[in-house]
């Protein structure tokens, strides 16, 4: 199961026809599908459980999967599958309980070489409320913030080739052993950066207000 985070339908299907060769040969098209939420955590939790957000509880308010909700990974694991998650999105990990049922969760930022981060990239991260809250908390002392900043590298780097290389090796190993595997992959390349349309117009005239409008797009 592959999720390209925030990928628009009209980027993959143009005039109703798939524009990506793999989708045409191996994909299934749902012409009347809607997400249960506008962001990753509750939407992915629904994919995993088949439940609406108010049932699985992984929402803005609670931020964690209901312990009584059974996931697809749990069901397949009980059927003899080895279950893996390869993700470039922190929202699908153990932080929010979406590791439930997976034998192994592999995070893209842990696979990649740490190349550091530039000033402009750090400024973008500081525009994110979650990072700002951690900056002024005990997490700065416990080094938890450093982990968050490393994970935030997905906003500025491409990890899909690295993830696919690892996934292909897992599939090859399972083929050799004649074992079944369920693999969930989350890709972030289609999520960021946000490109503003040339026709975009500010509703405010002041510099501060314009900055606030732009900043709101990243929250």
118-162, pLDDT tens digit by residue? 555 555 666 666 665 655 555 544 445 456 656 666 666 788 999
Quick one: pLDDT at residue 142?
44
Model confidence band, residue 190 (pLDDT cutoffs 50, 70, 90): confident
Q: What residue ranges do the domains of the chain occupy?
A: 2-216
The mean pLDDT of 66-89, rounded to a whole number, is 97
Q: State residue 141's pLDDT score.
A: 42
Q: Are strands 13-14 and 17-18 parallel, antiparallel or unpaired?
A: antiparallel
| Count of other CB atoms within 10 angstroms of residue 120 | 8
- List the single range of 97-106, 136-145, 203-212 with lowest mean pLDDT: 136-145
Q: What pTM did the predictor assign?
A: 0.77
How much is the pLDDT for 143? 46
Encode pLDDT of 45-62 as tens digits.
999 999 999 999 999 888
Q: Cα-flanking dihedrals φ and ψ of residue 78, to 5°?
A: -65, -20
Token reading at 91: 């929202």
pLDDT of 75 strictly over 90: yes
């Amino acid at each position: 199961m592959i999720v390209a985070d925030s990928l628009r339908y009209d980027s993959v299907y143009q005039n109703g026809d798939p524009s990506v060769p793999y989708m045409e040969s191996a994909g299934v098209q749902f012409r009347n599908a809607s997400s249960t939420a506008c962001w990753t955590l509750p939407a992915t939790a629904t994919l995993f459980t088949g439940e609406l957000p108010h049932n699985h509880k992984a929402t803005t308010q609670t931020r964690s999967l209901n312990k009584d909700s059974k996931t697809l990974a749990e069901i397949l694991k009980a059927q003899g599958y080895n279950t893996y998650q390869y993700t470039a999105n922190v929202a699908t990990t153990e932080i929010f309980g979406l590791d439930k049922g997976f034998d192994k969760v592999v995070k893209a930022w842990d696979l990649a070489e740490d190349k550091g981060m530039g000033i402009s990239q750090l400024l973008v991260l500081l525009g994110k409320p979650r990072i700002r809250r951690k900056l002024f908390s005990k997490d700065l002392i416990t080094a938890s913030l450093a982990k968050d900043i490393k994970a935030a590298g997905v906003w500025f780097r491409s990890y899909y080739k690295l993830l696919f290389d690892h996934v292909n090796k897992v599939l090859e190993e399972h083929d050799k052993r004649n074992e079944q595997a369920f693999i969930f992959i989350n890709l972030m390349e289609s999520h960021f950066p946000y490109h503003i349309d040339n026709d975009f117009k500010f509703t405010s005239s002041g510099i501060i207000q314009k900055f606030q409008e732009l900043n709101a797009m990243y929250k």
